Amino acid sequence: MLALSKVLLVIAGLFLILDGIFIIAGIPNIVNPAWSLPCPLVLILLGAGIVLFILSGTHHKHTT
């Protein structure tokens, strides 16, 4: 689960960088031009990655 969350976070991060470039260049959203930037699908990926990261972190707590 930790590996999946890292993959989702990396993909979402790369797409957010791309969305930032699109915002600066004035290019509309590629998926649906009516949507704003950053793309809602990218934000869903980012949210899923964060939730999985938190859940996997609580699963692997260290005992002292």
With residue 11 as reference, give the H or E element that holds it.
helix 2-25
Token representation of residue 64: 């002292």
Distance CA 64, CA 36 (A): 47
Token representation of residue 44: 């869903």
- Single pTM value for the model: 0.78
Q: What is the pLDDT of residue 25?
A: 94
Token representation of residue 5: 């969350």
pLDDT tens digits for range 28-39: 988 888 988 888
Distance CA 62, CA 52 (A): 18
Helix (H, G, I), strand (E, B) or coil at 63: coil
Q: What is the pLDDT of residue 2?
A: 82
